[in-house]
Amino acid sequence: MLGKMLQVKGSRERGYVLPIEEAEIRREIMTYGPVVASMQAYGDLDYYTGGIYKHTAGRPRGAHAVKIIGWGTENGTDYWIVANTWNTNWGEDNGFFRILRGINHCNIEDFVVAGHIKV
């Protein structure tokens, strides 16, 4: 964990912003589980139905919060596995999608937050 620590006063919870490094994001997911990310959503994301998402058309629609739950590689293309919040009928598998990994596609690696609860 190399990110900036955030503490909520009076809380036993802590969170932190991860560095903009793919390896750190993967390490966090592997060690502690899913992370939350902000990404730039474009119009073509509305029509995504499967495959590795690569923005090709549409205007920016603003920032969108998603949960990165894992990663993989298909035919030499690295991707993140992401849970969207729109609904379970959207995407390739009950609201999930894959997006290019390691190139900060749609700024998905710009602002990634993780959190732990002290027990």
Residue 44: closest CA among 54, 32, 52, 34: 54
Q: Where are the alpha helices (DSSP H) in 1-119?
A: 22-32
Catalytic residue among 55, 75, 84, 105: 84
With H, G, I as helix, E, B as strand and everything else as coil, classify residue 59: coil
What are the two backbone dihedrals, phi and then psi, of residue 21, each rounded to the nearest 5 degrees?
-140, 125
Q: β-strands 77-83, 60-74: how paired?
A: antiparallel
* 84 catalytically annotated: yes
Catalytic residue among 55, 64, 94, 107: 64
* 55 catalytically annotated: no
Catalytic residue IDs: 64, 84
